[in-house]
């Protein structure tokens, strides 16, 4: 029985993880759940999974202390939960920079992490890598592209990999030119062509920040240089990513747009038990595969992500922090879609570079990037 702690339990990945866990009651016991504000849903989860021993909530608006022995409130709730329960695997599906600390804490304790929170690696990849080496722990990717690559890597040796090819849908505005992005609305940006996901990642997909994050994530997860990590536009999101080997073989992983497969694979690797699909892929009817070369002029955030990733240090934390704040402002209709990009570019330009950052350095960089974006748009008093 694997004892699981799930962060971001009320989110898109969180809920799909609960579904996977509920299908394997003899394999998993859910012992910890955390979320941000949604006390009502946490309560429902705790009732559905009586094995829950610890609960974390960032806001203290509702008293849920009666639900189990340990309930922690506040921004440090996730780390406190990890310190007050006996668990085997952390599933980190919280959104944002806040996911880095619990990832590091879990690895420090010698516990493996099934990772959806890509921000842990984008902002803190250097620290996470050091901790993995120190404690001999493992990360199991949940992000669909990285799960696909992880699956394709089972077919060969790492030394024989020529390159990783990460597929990109192009996001909500893939059929528009840059000129046509001037007046796009929040509602339009939130309409992803293939995936149903949380708001932040859906906007990141439209700006291609998400693909930039995924390039950096792949660098740390698979320990390959940026020169061996490519991206390609693939509108259908049927191929989740590929690995090209030295003998020219290209291994691809295909599947419907259902995150329960990568979640289950991360939790049960190397096993592949039965998984009922909502919308099974019918090869004979639906299989059209289009590919287009990535256009860095159309998607400047992807180009910037390579530069940020290669320079390393604290720049990933700046890139992510600026994006988090800019996406929040866009969703609140305080800035326009194209101003998300401008926020990130200017914040990275203005950042003070720290080559070998500590966690405190990254936290400072994250905070400074957010403050920079607010100041840049003159929104200090709103």
Ligand X SMILES: CC(=O)[C@@H](O)[C@H](O)COP(=O)(O)O
Ligand Y SMILES: NC(=O)C1=CN([C@@H]2O[C@H](COP(=O)(O)OP(=O)(O)OC[C@H]3O[C@@H](n4cnc5c(N)ncnc54)[C@H](OP(=O)(O)O)[C@@H]3O)[C@@H](O)[C@H]2O)C=CC1
Question: Where along the sequence are the contacts to ligand X (CB under 6 A)?
Answer: 143-145, 168-169, 171, 195, 201, 205, 210-211, 259
CA of 122: how far to CAs of 76, 92, 96, 215, 308, in Å? 20, 14, 10, 9, 10
Q: Is 143 in the site for Mn ion (CB under 5 A)?
A: yes
Q: Is 259 in the site for ligand Y (CB under 6 A)?
A: yes
**Binding-site annotation, residues for Mn(2+):** 143, 145, 214
* Residue from 24, 37, 178, 272 binding ligand Y (CB under 6 A): 37
Work out how close the CB of 363 gets to Mn ion at its nearest, in angstroms, rounded to a whole number.
25
The nearer residue to Mn ion, 143 or 363, going by C-beta atoms, is 143
Phi, then psi, of 185 in degrees rounded to 5: -95, 165
The nearer residue to ligand X, 82 or 168, going by C-beta atoms, is 168
Q: Is 141 in the site for ligand Y (CB under 6 A)?
A: no
Work out how close the CB of 71 gets to Mn ion at its nearest, in angstroms, rounded to a whole number.
32
Q: Is 119 in the site for Mn ion (CB under 5 A)?
A: no
The nearer residue to ligand Y, 12 or 106, going by C-beta atoms, is 12
Tell me which stretch binds ligand Y (CB under 6 A): 43-51, 115-123, 329-337, 370-378: 115-123
The nearer residue to ligand Y, 217 or 376, going by C-beta atoms, is 217
What is the DSSP secondary-structure string of 50-103?
TT--EEEES--SS--GGGSSEEEESTTHHHHHHHTS--SEEEE---SGGGHHHH
How far apart CA 329 and CA 332 sit, in angstroms, is 5
The nearer residue to Mn ion, 217 or 368, going by C-beta atoms, is 217
Beta bridge partners of 161: 245
CB 53 within 8 A of CB 68: yes
Beta strands 239-245 and 250-254 are antiparallel
> Residue 205 touches which of ligand X, Mn ion, ligand Y, none (CB < 5 to 8 A by kind)?
ligand X
Q: Can you say whether the dihedral through the CA atoms of 323, 325, 328, 329 is positive or negative? A: negative
Q: Is 38 in the site for ligand Y (CB under 6 A)?
A: yes
How far apart CA 67 and CA 70 sit, in angstroms, is 9
Tell me which stretch binds Mn ion (CB under 5 A): 9-17, 39-47, 73-81, 145-153: 145-153
Positions in 216-255 near ligand Y (CB under 6 A): none
Q: Is 258 in the site for Mn ion (CB under 5 A)?
A: no
Positions in 316-335 near Mn ion (CB under 5 A): none
* Torsion angle defined by CA atoms of residues 69, 73, 75 and 81, in that order, rounded to the nearest 10 degrees: 0
* Residue from 4, 11, 101, 315 binding ligand Y (CB under 6 A): 11
**Binding-site annotation, residues:** 10-13, 36, 38, 117-119, 143-145, 169, 192, 198, 205, 210-211, 214
> 230: which residues sit within 8 A by CB, 6+ positions away?
163, 164, 165, 166, 294
Phi, then psi, of 72 in degrees rounded to 5: -115, 135
Phi, then psi, of 13 in degrees rounded to 5: -70, -40
> Applying CB under 5 A, which residues contact Mn ion?
143-145
């Amino acid at each position: 029985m694997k004892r699981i702690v799930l962060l971001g339990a009320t989110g898109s990945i969180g809920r799909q993880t609960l579904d996977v866990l509920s299908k394997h009651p003899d394999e998993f016991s859910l012992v910890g759940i955390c979320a941000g504000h949604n006390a009502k849903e946490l309560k429902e989860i705790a009732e559905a999974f009586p094995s829950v021993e610890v609960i974390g909530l960032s806001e203290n608006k509702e008293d849920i202390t009666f639900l189990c022995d340990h309930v922690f409130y506040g921004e440090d709730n996730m780390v406190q939960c990890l310190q007050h329960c006996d668990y085997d695997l952390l599933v980190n599906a919280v959104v944002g920079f806040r996911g880095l600390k619990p990832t590091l804490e879990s690895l420090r304790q010698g516990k493996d992490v099934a990772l959806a929170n890509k921000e842990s690696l984008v902002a803190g990849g250097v620290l996470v890598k050091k901790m993995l080496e120190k404690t001999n722990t493992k990360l199991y990717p949940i992000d669909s592209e990285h799960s696909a690559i992880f699956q394709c890597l089972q077919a060969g040796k790492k030394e024989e990999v020529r390159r990783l090819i990460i597929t990109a849908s192009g996001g909500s505005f893939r059929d528009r030119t840059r000129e046509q992005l001037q007046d796009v609305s929040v509602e339009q940006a939130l309409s992803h062509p293939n995936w149903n996901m949380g708001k932040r990642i859906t906007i990141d997909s439209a700006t291609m920040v998400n693909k930039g994050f995924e390039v950096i994530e792949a660098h740390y997860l698979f320990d390959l240089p940026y020169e061996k990590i490519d991206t390609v536009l693939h509108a259908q999101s049927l191929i989740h990513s590929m690995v090209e080997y030295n003998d020219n073989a290209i291994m691809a992983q295909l599947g419907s747009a259902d995150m329960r497969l990568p979640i289950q694979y991360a939790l049960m690797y190397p096993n592949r038990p039965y998984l009922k699909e909502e919308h099974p892929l019918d090869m004979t009817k639906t299989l059209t595969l289009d590919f287009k070369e990535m256009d860095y002029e159309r998607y400047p955030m992807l180009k910037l992500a390579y530069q940020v990733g290669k320079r390393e240090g604290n720049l990933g934390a700046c890139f992510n922090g600026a994006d988090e704040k800019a996406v929040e402002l866009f969703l609140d209709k305080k800035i326009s879609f194209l101003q998300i990009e401008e926020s990130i570019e200017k914040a990275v330009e203005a950042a003070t570079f720290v080559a070998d950052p500590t966690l405190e350095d990254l936290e400072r960089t994250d905070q400074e990037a957010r403050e920079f974006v607010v100041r840049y748009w003159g929104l200090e008093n709103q």
